[in-house]
Structure 1
Amino acid sequence: MKKTFFVTGFQSAKGVGKSSGKSYEFASLFNLSPVRNWETEKGRSESKGFTIDDDKCLKADISLVRQLSQYEYPCFISAEIDIDPEDMTSTILVEVFGHTPLDMNVPLDNKPKGTLSAGS
């Protein structure tokens, strides 16, 4: 399934576990997830915007590390995701088609939104 993600960063690691002695290698993308409102009989939340949820970080195939390392972050990444063969309940990024970096020093629109003028 082809999707576009807003990614704030990328991480990969390779090594040997301290306690287990087993080797590991992984790659993860830190993508923004919408903040969710919740409501129970004891309370409720009001939220807007996005967050980085460590539990929802996008796992990436280790073969993509070189390509992902060359990108400037934050950016939009267009990618193919599929079922993770190591965990059939989650997904993994298997192919990246391209990215669109954002220049955080140049606003997309220099007009403030939602401001009131005097007398409003």
Structure 2
Amino acid sequence: MKVIQLIAGAVAAKGKSKGSGREYEYGQLHHLVPFMTWENENGRAVASGFCTPQKGDTKHQPVECTMDMLALAEKLPLPAFLELEMAPSEDDFTKLVCIGITVKQSIPVKYQDFQAMFNTVSKSDSVSSVKTDSRSVQV
């Protein structure tokens, strides 16, 4: 199964715990979720914008990845819209893990990159019709 998500960050780690000496390895892609707006008898919160899932948030969790992400995590041009190839986890068939990634569209984070992107748009084009090269990263 393939899905496209806006991914803000990636992290992967492999090593041995200092405290217990147990080995660990994991890979995660952090997607954006909206800040929570709420109201009850004790108060209210109004929010705008997005964040990555917080610890303890049972509704939104990072996307788990295979350890192939370890080499890939620092090479991804994030934030970006990524096409994620998902498959059942080898450890738990009720969970999906990302086994492949294709970068559909990266989002410039430096002013010069934004400027270059918008200078290529003619006055009659809308921002949503900007065409840029798609880069593909295969795991």
TM-score with structure 2 length normalisation? 0.63
Give unmatched runs, 5+ long, in structure 2.
56-60, 120-139
Equivalent of residue 86 in structure 2, options 81, 88, 94: 81
Equivalent of residue 108 in structure 2, options 89, 103, 116: 103
Compared CA separation, residues 18 and 89, structure 1 to 2 (3 A) = farther
* Distance in 1 of aligned mates of 2:51 and 2:39: 19
- State the match for 1:71 in structure 2: 76
Amino acid across the alignment from 2:38: W
Give me the CA root mean square deviation. Answer: 2.6
Compared CA separation, residues 88 and 36, structure 1 to 2 (3 A) = farther
Higher fraction of helix: 2
Amino acid across the alignment from 1:19: G
* Distance in 1 of aligned mates of 2:76 and 2:6: 13
Higher fraction of strand: 1
The answer to whether residue 13 in structure 2 is matched with residue 13 in structure 1 is yes
Q: Give the SS at the match of 2:68.
A: helix
The answer to whether residue 25 in structure 2 is matched with residue 25 in structure 1 is yes
Contact 1:31–1:57 (Cα < 8 Å) also in 2: yes
Shift, 1:79, TM fit: 0.6
* Distance in 2 of aligned mates of 1:90 and 1:46: 33
Shift, 1:68, TM fit: 3.9
Compared CA separation, residues 109 and 63, structure 1 to 2 (3 A) = same
Contact 2:80–2:103 (Cα < 8 Å) also in 1: no
* Distance in 2 of aligned mates of 1:37 and 1:16: 39
* Distance in 2 of aligned mates of 1:46 and 1:31: 21
Shift, 1:28, TM fit: 1.5
Amino acid across the alignment from 1:6: L
* Distance in 2 of aligned mates of 1:24 and 1:30: 19
The answer to whether residue 47 in structure 2 is matched with residue 51 in structure 1 is no
Compared CA separation, residues 67 and 3, structure 1 to 2 (3 A) = same
Shift, 1:97, TM fit: 3.0
Compared CA separation, residues 98 and 88, structure 1 to 2 (3 A) = same
- State the match for 2:38 in structure 1: 38
The count of corresponding residues between Structure 1 and Structure 2 is 110
* Distance in 1 of aligned mates of 2:53 and 2:6: 13
Shift, 1:38, TM fit: 2.1
Give unmatched runs, 5+ long, in structure 1.
111-120
- State the match for 1:116 in structure 2: none
